[in-house]
Amino acid sequence: LPLQQAIVAASQAYSKPDGIVFEYGTAGFRMNGLLNTVVFAVGLLAGLRSKKLNGQWIGVMITASHNPADDNGVKLVDPMGEMLEAEWETYATKLANSPLEKLGEVYDGLVKEIDIRMENPARVVFARDTRASGPRLVAVLAAALAATEIEFLDLKFLTTPQLHYVVRCKNTLGTQYEYGEPTEQGYYEKLSDAFKRVIKGAKFQGSLTVDCANGIGGPKLRELIKYLPGVDAGGVAIKVVNDNVINPESLNLDCGADYVKTKQRAPPSSKAAPLDRCASLDGDADRLIYYFMDEGSSFRLLDGDRIATLAASFISDLARTAGILQKLKIGVIQTAYANGSSTEYIEKVLRLPAVCTKTGVKYLHHAALRFDVGVYFEANGHGTVTFSENALKIIKTYEPQSPAQQHALERLQGLTDLINQAVGDALSDMLLVEAVLAHKGWTPKEWLGTYTDLPSRLVRVEVANRSIFKTYDAERKLESPSGLQAKIDSLQSRYNKGRSFARASGTEDAVRVYAEAATRSEADDLASRVANAVL
Ligand code: 16G
Ligand code: ZN
């Protein structure tokens, strides 16, 4: 069979590391080095996925997000810009673990198992972040696509959400769901046009400093700024820092959203004065965290929970003013890591339903789609807002009964274009936050003042075998090892507002323990006791 032979022949350029079992995890394949054969397998699978979906464009992103500069990774993007369908993750894993000389057979086996018509067209579009290993992996990907005669388009450097955007645009072009121009420029034009519509009537205070993790977000934010209204035209002043992409080793080093969130401090290079608005992106610009120094120069974090509550409050206020609140089912989706105070604020103050799902964007995204307006964010800053077809119809066609209703409706219309519907997007989320703060006339201090976070602690525990940690109730409880949940229950009941859980990481060989309680010392104490119970 010529195709099988071509696959095996092309794969011979690479060597498969011994003794490593690859797994398509929460964010695709991700690791330090040795990714050639994995990327080759992903190229094969991307072509099959596109054929299965009658030639719709499939995306492939080469990135390892917030992980160290020497790591890299690869993940697939489905036609609407969503994460790869879960069932296909197992196919990806199967191909990636096949010995090279068997690759043709395994490929053929999948063609039969998934029932793929090989005569269908197939199209794949890919991009990468700024990592040094990117060009090598892109060449591997192209080789797999060429060997299987798949049409492909190399978009070079993009943020992860930009690639998701382009994939969705390409597949909706000429349909009633057209999402935008399928180019990087189209992305900037869509965002800036929507931003201008959303900020009408709002006034910006001060400036925003954005730490770009020395990743792809730096050059792309600089590009976006060219499209945004300048300060003289009523726009926001944005200062770009940590945008060194010339030295690849500086990526995510002592800066970026993951650093700020996990270390709970500003990057050491930060020159922020008290009350200055600061934001950090991660290495592929799909995570966003805000922070500032208060008057006493203490670091104050405004994480994904804060962005979710800010967005939900703004959108529900607009919907109320527009007279359409009763017609829309608005909900907020969080994970077990969401601070208990944020959940209480959503339910008691905003009076919106709060849903908890497993960790990982695909779970939140899925749950968000069950609402007309689904606001979802992980505490780590990854998230977006989804609008249902019903919501779009109401927002676009409702006849306003007053100038106030009309104003609110126009802002909502702008938001449906400003917010990336495909996936969480730090640049789009950042414009959203800026617009909301400007409309509310808030500095970060008022934003922080909406509720008080419970002190929390996250501990990483190395165990012999993390696969025995099986959870239920959206990862908030353990069903195995047996007896452990009862211990955790009894521990947390001893603390005021105590809540704790343990779950196996999906990206590292470790178990993570989270604990929160009314005071710092109680949270720390609870976390270390639960960690000891896990060991
Ligand atoms: C992945 C997920 C992220 C999640 C993290 C949890 C995506 C695109 N990324 O990076 O959302 O927060 O895993 O990591 O889904 P953990 O399982 O190691 O705690
Ligand atoms: Zn990321």
Residue 370: inside a domain: yes
Q: What is the pLDDT of residue 1?
A: 78
Q: Select from 384, 417, 448 the last residue of a domain.
A: 448
Distance CA 398, CA 134 (A): 47
9 lies in the same domain as 59? yes
pLDDT digits (tens, 9 = 90+) for 302-315: 999 999 999 999 99
Task: Assess whether 65 carries a catalytic annotation.
Answer: yes
Evaluate if pTM is beyond 0.95.
yes
Distance CA 455, CA 9 (A): 57
pLDDT digits (tens, 9 = 90+) for 313-342: 999 999 999 999 999 999 999 999 999 999
Q: What is the pLDDT of residue 438?
A: 98
Distance CA 111, CA 104 (A): 11
Average pLDDT (505-529) is: 96
Tell which one of 366, 382, 423, 512 to mutate to probe ligand 1, the residue whose CB is within 8 A of the most ligand atoms: 382
pLDDT digits (tens, 9 = 90+) for 277-299: 999 999 999 999 999 999 999 99
265 lies in the same domain as 310? no
278 lies in the same domain as 332? no
Q: Select from 448, 464, 488 the last residue of a domain.
A: 448
Instruction: Name the phi and psi angles at 373, rounded to 5.
Output: -125, 110
CA 428 to ligand 1 center in whole angstroms: 20
Tell which one of 262, 503, 507 to mutate to probe ligand 1, the residue whose CB is within 8 A of the most ligand atoms: 507
Residue 173: inside a domain: no
Residue 146: inside a domain: yes
The distance from CA 180 to its chain's CA centroid, rounded to whole angstroms, is 20
- How many separate domains does the chain show? 4
287 lies in the same domain as 324? no
Q: What single-letter DSSP state applies at residue 327?
A: G
Q: Which ligand is nearest to the CA of 160?
A: 2
Average pLDDT (185-197) is: 98
Would you say how long the chain is, in residues?
A: 535
Q: Which CATH number covers residue 92? A: 3.40.120.10
Residue 168: inside a domain: no
Q: What is the pLDDT of residue 385?
A: 98
371 lies in the same domain as 442? yes
419 lies in the same domain as 511? no
Helix (H, G, I), strand (E, B) or coil at 210: strand
Residue 165: inside a domain: no
Residue written as tokens 């003794």? 19
Q: Select from 302, 320, 336 the last residue of a domain.
A: 302
Distance CA 399, CA 401 (A): 6
283 lies in the same domain as 308? no
Mean pLDDT across the chain: 97
Residue 142: inside a domain: yes
Confidence of residue 27 (pLDDT cuts 50, 70, 90): confident
pLDDT digits (tens, 9 = 90+) for 393-449: 999 999 999 999 999 999 999 999 999 999 999 999 999 999 999 999 999 999 999
> Of 11, 50, 65, 316, which one is the catalytic site residue?
65
Nearest CA to ligand 1 atom 8: 27
349 lies in the same domain as 482? no
Q: What is the pLDDT of residue 407?
A: 98
Domain that holds residue 268: 187-302
pLDDT > 90: percent of the chain: 96
95 lies in the same domain as 33? yes
pLDDT digits (tens, 9 = 90+) for 115-169: 999 999 999 999 999 999 999 999 999 999 999 999 999 999 999 999 999 999 9
289 lies in the same domain as 322? no
Q: What is the pLDDT of residue 34?
A: 85
425 lies in the same domain as 477? no
229 lies in the same domain as 99? no
